[in-house]
């Protein structure tokens, strides 16, 4: 894949949660959903690893594609939830 950009953004959600958003861009015809999902998952696993001494009961939840533009399947936007 010819990735042109990968951005991972973290934002605190209260005192006990982190929202992770990964954005990937590429110059080409194929999608980059798997790359974005992998980036978000690795960020979540890294946070878990850094915080496990404080709380081993943490959970990683709701890893999903929120939006996809272009490609063969066109535009996809997940329902708000």
Say if pTM beats, i.e. exceeds, 0.85: yes
Of 41 and 26, the one with more pLDDT: 41
> Is 49 part of the annotated catalytic residue set?
yes
Using one digit for the tens of pLDDT, what is the confidence trace for 26-35? 887 777 899 9
3 state DSSP class of 10: strand
For the chain, how many structural domains are there in total?
Answer: 1
Would you give the end-to-end CA distance of the chain in angstroms? 31
Domain that holds residue 64: 3-77
Alpha-carbon span 48 to 58, nearest angstrom: 7
Looking at residue 53, which CATH number applies to its domain? 3.30.70.640
Alpha-carbon span 54 to 65, nearest angstrom: 29
Alpha-carbon span 69 to 41, nearest angstrom: 21
Question: How far is Cα of residue 33 from the mean position of the Cα atoms in its chain?
Answer: 9
Does the pLDDT at position 4 exceed 70?
yes
């Amino acid at each position: 894949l010819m990735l042109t950009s990968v951005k991972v953004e973290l934002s605190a959600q209260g005192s006990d949660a982190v929202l992770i958003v990964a954005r990937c861009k590429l110059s080409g015809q194929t999608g980059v959903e798997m790359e974005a999902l992998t980036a978000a998952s690795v960020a979540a696993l890294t946070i878990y690893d850094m915080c496990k001494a404080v709380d081993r009961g943490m959970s990683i939840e709701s890893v999903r594609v929120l939006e996809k533009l272009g490609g063969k399947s066109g535009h996809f936007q997940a329902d708000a939830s």
